[in-house]
Structure 1
């Protein structure tokens, strides 16, 4: 087995218990694994930003005063800090088309998604333009590699500029790019995405779902 990040061989002993309980192997070598920093300790109870003490960060406090998005998202849980290692990993996966990297976070997704047993799992959609450029929806790929069932309840319309290329102020402006044609009846939704940056994308998606009748909307992302 080779590390999916640096491609060096990984040598480890596998016991009978590993085979019986179908252990999920770590796709990274010890060195590469150590460069990915989990968000632990005190964090914003809404967006998962690391904080000195538990509470609500200044960004989420501002969102709470927004007339359209104040209460659409109950909470987001992000797994890793968005450092240089995760940035390079996402770049290779999302923009360079290294689909094999979709399996890097299989174990983490399985562990977190299973906590939301009564939620419908919904991947964040990409526009047809981005789908044509990349060849796959990165969020669907993450879920499929983790063996997690999901429903496509959202559609994203084409825009000239992706959110990743916009400055913070520009992300907050503009029309909502998401649409949903399915009426909900109070079902709880768990949105899955690769990154939480300003929270605009997830809140816009949550807003559309709430307007169609969804109950609680939460999200899980790989990075924050």
Structure 2
């Protein structure tokens, strides 16, 4: 077995339980695994997974909750890793350099998180604009779910954007028209939004707002980086 990211050979012992029960293999070698910083729930915001001393709700989420349009639209966001240099390189290789297989690096963690969800939660990838889809060749959020072998529903569409969200200042991200549109009406279904990164929370909350307007129940989100 080789590391899905650096392709180094992984040496690990097999146990009887591994032979009797289907095991989700760890995709990373020891070096790559140690370079990724997992976000611990006990040291992060209960809403957005942002780093905190202790537990509770961070200042940013308290401000979001004061916003009339986005008050309580997002039940919670779970981010897997801190956005350090290694994760930045991995996302770049996957998202911008077209290395689709890198999405498989996060398969184990994504499956573990999905298993914790309330039953019958719909998995919904955050859509990219048609322009971005043509440029990249695939939607990176769908790729994460495909490589994890999970079924998902495309319940949102997205308008074209002249400037990428990643290149906008925080103030500019918060302002402007909501780029998302619901494809169908919902009937109280719980939703998990899948995205690659949580930066300011604007994208996730805009998508959650549209889903809530369409009749969704609780809307959660899962991202690789924070």
Tell me if both proteins adopt one fold, taking TM over 0.5 as the criterion. yes
Structure 1 unaligned segments of length 5 or more: list them.
none
Q: Does residue 33 in structure 1 map to residue 33 in structure 2? A: yes
Aligned length: 224
2:215 match? 213
3-state DSSP of counterpart to 1:64:
helix
3-state DSSP of counterpart to 1:192:
strand
Q: What stretches of structure 1 move > 6 A for 4+ residues in a row?
A: none
Determine the C-alpha separation between the residues in 2 that align with 1:23 and 1:154.
33
User: How big is the shift at 1:66?
Assistant: 1.0
3-state DSSP of counterpart to 2:7:
coil
3-state DSSP of counterpart to 1:46:
coil
2:44 match? 43
1:14 match? 14
- Deviation digits for residues 147-175 of structure 1, max 9, x if unmatched? 11110000011111111111111111110
Please list, as runs of the form range in 1=range in 2, the aligned pairs for 1:75-224 lying within 5 A after superposition.
75-116=76-117, 117-224=119-226
Under a length normalisation based on structure 2, what TM-score does the superposition of the two structures give? 0.95
Q: Which moved more, 1:85-94 or 1:111-120?
A: 111-120
1:71 match? 72
User: How big is the shift at 1:71?
Assistant: 1.5
Determine the C-alpha separation between the residues in 2 that align with 1:70 and 1:15.
49
Structure 2 unaligned segments of length 5 or more: list them.
none
Determine the C-alpha separation between the residues in 2 that align with 1:108 and 1:10.
18
3-state DSSP of counterpart to 2:66:
coil
Determine the C-alpha separation between the residues in 2 that align with 1:3 and 1:181.
38
Under a length normalisation based on structure 1, what TM-score does the superposition of the two structures give? 0.96
User: How big is the shift at 1:6?
Assistant: 2.1
Determine the C-alpha separation between the residues in 2 that align with 1:54 and 1:189.
24
User: How big is the shift at 1:16?
Assistant: 4.1
- Deviation digits for residues 6-62 of structure 1, max 9, x if unmatched? 222222233443233122222211011001111112211110111101111111111
Determine the C-alpha separation between the residues in 1 that align with 2:221 and 2:58.
17
Determine the C-alpha separation between the residues in 2 that align with 1:38 and 1:13.
24
User: How big is the shift at 1:5?
Assistant: 2.3
RMSD between aligned residues? 1.2
1:5 match? 5
